[in-house]
Amino acid sequence: MSQTRSIAFTKMNGLGNDFVVIDARRERLALAEEDVRALAARDHAATKGCDQLLILHPPQNAGRDKGDVFMQIFNADGSEVEACGNGARAVAAYLASLGTPEPVIETLGGTLQAHAPRREERSGGIIQFPGIIMPTPRFAWRDIPLAEEMPDTSQVTLHPDLPPAFMVNVGNPHGVIFVDGGTGGLAAQYGFELEKNRLLPEGANINFAACKGDNIIELDTWERGAGLTQACGTGACATAVAAFHLGKIDNHNNEFRIEPPCARDPKLKDNSDRAGIHQDNLLEILVDYDGHSLAQQGPVEFEFEAEFEAGAAS
């Protein structure tokens, strides 16, 4: 009979984009793809499922680049990815609760500096608002990456029936497609197909965005390896970057207000059984971008703490 051990975790979310956070800094933990998929399944008895699984390890960098923690990120399909903006805010709030208010978080996509979260008590519980300084956006075709050399990655055709995509890497690859009149249903209709486009050798997160004026952008994101999610922090950042460089909104005001799906659907906002989506929450991600420096801020909630059983070999 194989031995098992109990693994403690913390369930968190940012705007309904939910995470299982496992602190493995003291005891090594390695999970196979099938283990991640099982933990992310919505019928899992302990975790209740998640969009991403975040494992915290000791820092891997040396010298001045050394952080407080290395955040390993898995999507619900078991794939490991480079970055997760909402997840970084969740980990920042988690580490702040343990006495590190402004942690430096290492990821495969770059090192992130977190700012101490602001705390607010709402009817739905304590909401925290951490800030994250993101990696400098990259636009070169090799850095995104794209499968073909392209001198201009701001107008990449991924589908003949859609406007061109602004391609950018903000720690992970994103395509941002601006549409007129609203984003309704486009991510669900085209997301999976575009994620697997031949021009995207590593896949990409696909964002459909609509500018509403006053630096407010409506955003729906199809996340690579996770599908439709209630919010995407790196997607919000990529969309603000794209809007800035394409001149979609007022470039003299560097703060962008990104509205995820739950901000626009009264039924979802008022009646959702997903934590993080309720009328008393601030249903937006704030992104500050000046053409070089990129930062984001948004709400994070602690849902519950529990344990699951894992094989001793994990």
How many other CB atoms sit within 10 Å of the CB of residue 1?
3
Dist CA 5 CA 312 (whole Å):
6
Instruction: Say which of 50, 211, 232, 237 is annotated catalytic.
Output: 232
Report the phi/psi class of residue 111: left, alpha or beta, with left for phi > 0 and alpha for psi in -120 to 50: beta
Per the annotation, the verdict on 237 as an active-site residue is no
Q: What angle do CA 125, 236, 40 make, to 5 degrees?
A: 60
Dist CA 189 CA 270 (whole Å):
25
Q: Is residue 260 within 8 Å of residue 15, measured between CB atoms?
A: yes
For residue 290, give Cα distances in angstroms to 40, 93, 247: 36, 25, 12
How many other CB atoms sit within 10 Å of the CB of residue 184?
16
Dist CA 278 CA 269 (whole Å):
5
Per the annotation, the verdict on 84 as an active-site residue is yes
Of 119, 136, 112, 125, nearest to 54 by C-alpha is 112
DSSP-assigned states of every residue in 272-300 = -SSTT-STTS---EEEEESSS-EEEE--B
Of 205, 274, 277, 201, nearest to 237 by C-alpha is 205
Handedness of CA 112, 71, 306, 96 (dihedral sign): negative
Dist CA 76 CA 268 (whole Å):
22
Dist CA 256 CA 309 (whole Å):
42
Instruction: Say which of 84, 211, 237, 262 is annotated catalytic.
Output: 84
Catalytic residue ranges: 84, 232
